Amino acid sequence: MFNTILIDADTNKLNQLEEKLQEHCPQLKVVGKSCQYCDIERLVENSSPNLIFIKINKPDIHLFGILTSLSFKGIEFIIISDIKEIAYEALKFSMTGFILRPVDPNELIQMVRLAKQKIQIKKERDQERALLEVIRKKLSINDLIGIPTMEGFEFFKIDDIIRCKGLQKCTQIVTQQRTNIVSSYNIGEFTKLLKPFGFFSPHKSHLVNLSCIKKYLKEGSIVMVDGATVPVSRRRRSEFLEFIKHV
């Protein structure tokens, strides 16, 4: 079951939406509803929802700002409106979906399915993050590390990792033996995991094993043992030079 909150200033339409959800989306459990937008944060705190349906009929930057901040708690939002132009606002603020009234049951089912997929992905990422934190606390440099990939987990020694490169929401891992490992985790997670073991981030998209540096070029780049050239950002250059003194 997915805990759901409904927000609509029109009481009749609020109740109609609840009835439609009960009929077409029985996997959703309505744990709170209100005709007042100011109740959103209170309902979220009291009910821990996975999904919120909210009616919006005019652009409201303050309201969308609240929804965006709540989305960082793993909550998905489906906007319902009588005005089709609101769809642009929903898209701009990365809401899960938009439904134009009158609510079509097939569209409702489709939007709920999309929201469930996103909720499940976030849940899996939270589980991976928790597992990585446990791994980080227990590792030594010669231990095997489990890296989440698209297929599952791959294990190898921390000391075998030469560098990591951010690829949007994924990360390429280059080891002494392989260059084709792509993890489902972003570069920031690997920075937190590997920094205690002699890794440094010379650039927002790169993480390097300091013991695998072949040379540093004065124009601001690093040559690694695998032959790759990694940029060093200006603001991290002095920090990097200080780090390599102790390698």
pLDDT one-digit tens code per residue, 43-80: 999 999 999 999 999 888 788 888 888 887 889 999 99
The pLDDT confidence band at residue 135, using thresholds 50, 70 and 90, is low
CB 124 within 8 A of CB 136: no
Supply angle C-alpha 58, 63, 68, rounded to 5.
Answer: 120
Q: Between these two residues, 233 and 244, which has the higher pLDDT value?
A: 233
**What pLDDT was estimated at residue 137?**
65
CATH number of 2-128: 3.40.50.2300
Burial of 98 (0-12, 13-18, 19+ CB in 10 A): buried
Numbered ranges of CATH 2.40.50.1020 in the chain: 139-244
pLDDT one-digit tens code per residue, 117-134: 989 888 877 776 676 666
Domain 139-244, CATH homologous superfamily name and number: LytTr DNA-binding domain (2.40.50.1020)
- Residue 62 tokens read as 């303050």
**What pLDDT was estimated at residue 247?**
56
CA-closest candidate to residue 83, choices 64, 62, 101, 105: 101
Distance, CA of 190 to CA of 206 (rounded, Å): 10
Numbered ranges of CATH 3.40.50.2300 in the chain: 2-128
Q: Is the pLDDT of residue 140 over 80?
A: no
pLDDT one-digit tens code per residue, 18-48: 999 999 999 999 999 999 999 999 999 999 9
